[in-house]
Amino acid sequence: MARKFARLSAATVVSFTACATTKAHTGSPRICPTTMPPVILILLCLVLPFVASADEYPSRAVTLVVPYPLSGPTDIRGASRMTKTYKLMAANAPPAISDTLARIVQQAIRYESRQPVLLDRQPGGATTRGAQHVARAMADGHTLLLGSNETMVLTPNYATDVGYDPTRNFELAAPLVNMPFVLMTSTGLPFKTLERLISYIKVRPGEINYGSSGDGSTGHLAGELLRRAAGLDMVHVSYNGGLAALNSLAIGQTSVMFAALPLALPYLNNEHLRALAVTGTHRTELLPHLPTLAESGISGVESAGWFGVFVPNGTSPNVIRWLNTHIAESINEMSTRNALVTLGLEPVRGTLSDFATRIYAESERWGPVLKAARIPSRKAS
């Protein structure tokens, strides 16, 4: 700042001379720095560097905070205790979605600006640790957050003391992808349609377990929506990650699970697992034969995960526009889009305003569901 101030002060001295010279030769009236009050000059010296930096974005290295562990949801712990089925599933586990998306954002910014983009992993607190870091960062567009519905909708609604407010502390810079979920059951159960599944559960109140990757996860809340919409009495079982929950379903410890499509894809032809429906508003490109829950007779259960890039509140609209334009171009490039679809993700279509409205609507919707699920308020940890 001192160097910028010195450079600007030197430029002001030059303008003094030029102004005086022009006035002497032309005699025309003109507003000169020499006639400005000192306070105005000082304010200009402080403000102009920031105005210039907004036009030169990014002017230095950009940091993308990724609030997920390096190995993502496919991390394997306790290998000596893994079942044969679990080892087989782990061998075919998909890559961590956060890794894939972070690399796409990194390459998009680097290609357009030639500035380095650093990936700063800050896992912990159900993604809240990384979000807190970005919420406290300068609103200059050089610190970004790879956020999701977990970060911006789910965790703030079920946990206390998350350390940030999604509405007050963040602005959406670029929507990335939607992540559909799939209703899956064990092949050991005697049905292949959603209608028969519901009938099966209704005559066994309190006996059927459904698994998820954790309390307050998208899969958990999708299960609660189904329970409420169909009037079912099911018991939720929380696991440490989606792969552990899917393994539990495969070996018969649970009967039902809503699994993220990228996680479920490698196992859709598994002899132990069966897919019944997708949770989105439309069928997926990869599974056009699989109906939606609404098509299967259950409405009001539409849910999906999503990812996006967020910046601290107060970031310049020009910076947000730059990020949105170039990241969207990268996401919608044909080869990138095809790669994402192959993983089970759907590049977001629509405007920033459309997606921001969706985030608000989801936040309003999940609150009552979380209360109905009887999830105790707790600190994010």
pLDDT tens digits, 149-208? 999 998 888 777 889 999 999 999 999 999 999 999 988 888 889 999 999 999 999 999
Q: How far is 29 from 164, CA to CA, in rounded Å?
A: 53
Average pLDDT of the segment spanning 92-96:
62
The model's confidence at residue 50, banded by pLDDT at 50, 70 and 90, is very low
Q: Is 297 exposed, middle or buried (0-12, 13-18, 19+ CB in 10 A)?
A: middle
Q: How far is 47 from 86, CA to CA, in rounded Å?
A: 59
Residue 303 or 55, more confident? 303
Cβ contact 242:234 at 8 Å: no
pTM score, whole prediction? 0.78
Pick the range with the lowest mean pLDDT from 29-38, 201-210, 336-345: 29-38
pLDDT at position 354, please? 94
pLDDT at position 123, please? 87
Residue 24 or 361, more confident? 361
pLDDT at position 129, please? 93
**172 strand-pairing partners:** 310
pLDDT tens digits, 250-286? 888 999 999 999 989 888 888 889 999 999 889 998 9
pLDDT at position 1, please? 39
Helix axes 97-113, 317-331, angle to 10 degrees: 120
Q: How far is 21 from 233, CA to CA, in rounded Å?
A: 87
DSSP line for 236-293? EEE-SSHHHHHHHHHTTS-SEEEEEHHHHGGGTT-TTEEEEEE-SSS--SS-TTSPBT
Segment of 78-87, 159-168, 226-235 carrying the highest mean pLDDT: 226-235
Average pLDDT of the segment spanning 20-27:
40
